[in-house]
Amino acid sequence: MPDPVTARHRQRMVRDQLADCPDARVIAAMAALPREDFVPPDARACAYADGALPISAGQTISQPRVVALMLAALRLAPGQRVLDVGCGSGYAAALLADLVAPGPVIAVERQSTLVEPARTRLAGRNVAVHLADGSIGWPGGAPYDAIHVAAAATEVPAALLAQLAPGGRLVIPVGPDGEQELWLYENGTRVSLGPVRFVPFLSGTA
């Protein structure tokens, strides 16, 4: 049975943090998805706080308003193919799956300890989670209509741009800690979505 306390917190998140989100489908998806299922048990009470939360392996689940900003910028539609780089707990992948169903979501995560828990949380959704180096994307699933990256790179990996479909969109934070900016890449151009703070984008697997 749904927890009425977390349901109220989720409604408050929508009211207080997502008011500026221009995509009604993104708001509806975030209003329906229990974020508390994607954080550690001792953080459930803070699941809807206005900030990022630690999960494990030195990773985080992003601030709700930043998640909404990124998803809205991707302008997702049913049937699209999406790559999620830095799957973490699986929260963004679940939202991506809900927004593009029945289209597939390929999620890659470099931390081996996060992969199986994410697969468990995402069971039954149109998401495939892989242990992989996010800097090379997932060529076997390309091209992608949208690529969502949840770690800050010093520069945009060329492999990710190469895996975009014509007209596809990539959202990625770029820059060192304290000086990161969120960028939308589309049709050879880029647009700033504002300052952000993410964990660093690392190559390889761990």
pLDDT of residue 2: 55
22: preceding bond cis by omega (within 30 degrees): no
Q: How far apart are CA 81 and CA 187, in angstroms?
A: 17
In a domain, 19, yes or no: no
In a domain, 121, yes or no: yes
Tokens of 146: 């949208």
In a domain, 60, yes or no: yes
Nearest CA to 83 out of 61, 66, 101, 107 is that of 107
Number of domains present in the structure of the chain:
1
pLDDT of residue 4: 63
In a domain, 170, yes or no: yes
In a domain, 21, yes or no: no
Q: What is the arithmetic mean of pLDDT over 5-15? A: 89
The model's confidence at residue 10, banded by pLDDT at 50, 70 and 90, is very high
- The whole domain housing 70 covers 50-196
pLDDT of 146 > 70? The answer is yes
Count H helices and E strands in the chain, helices first.
6, 9
Q: What is the arithmetic mean of pLDDT over 81-108? A: 98
CATH of the domain at 188: 3.40.50.150
Which residues are designated catalytic?
Answer: 62
pLDDT of residue 128: 98
Q: What is the arithmetic mean of pLDDT over 190-205? A: 92
Q: What is the arithmetic mean of pLDDT over 178-203? A: 93
> To the nearest whole percent, how much of the chain has pLDDT over 70?
98
**DSSP structure class, residue 135:** G
pLDDT of residue 203: 85
CA contacts within 13 A on the Cβ side of 58: 9
Q: What is the arithmetic mean of pLDDT over 32-45? A: 93
The model's confidence at residue 126, banded by pLDDT at 50, 70 and 90, is very high
In a domain, 8, yes or no: no
Nearest CA to 112 out of 42, 181, 56 is that of 56
In a domain, 45, yes or no: no
The C-alpha angle with vertex 133 and arms to 180 and 183, in degrees rounded to 5, equals: 25
The model's confidence at residue 57, banded by pLDDT at 50, 70 and 90, is confident
In a domain, 34, yes or no: no
pLDDT (tens digit, 9 = 90+) per residue, 154-168? 999 999 999 999 999
Q: What is the arithmetic mean of pLDDT over 143-149? A: 98
3-state secondary structure of 106: strand
φ/ψ of residue 53, rounded to 5: -125, 140
pLDDT of 79 > 70? The answer is yes
- If one compares 114 and 177, the residue with the highest pLDDT of the two is 114
Q: What is the arithmetic mean of pLDDT over 52-66? A: 91
| DSSP H or E stretch at residue 67 | helix 64-74
Q: What is the arithmetic mean of pLDDT over 36-55? A: 92
Contact indicator for 92, 65 with CB cutoff of 8 Å: no
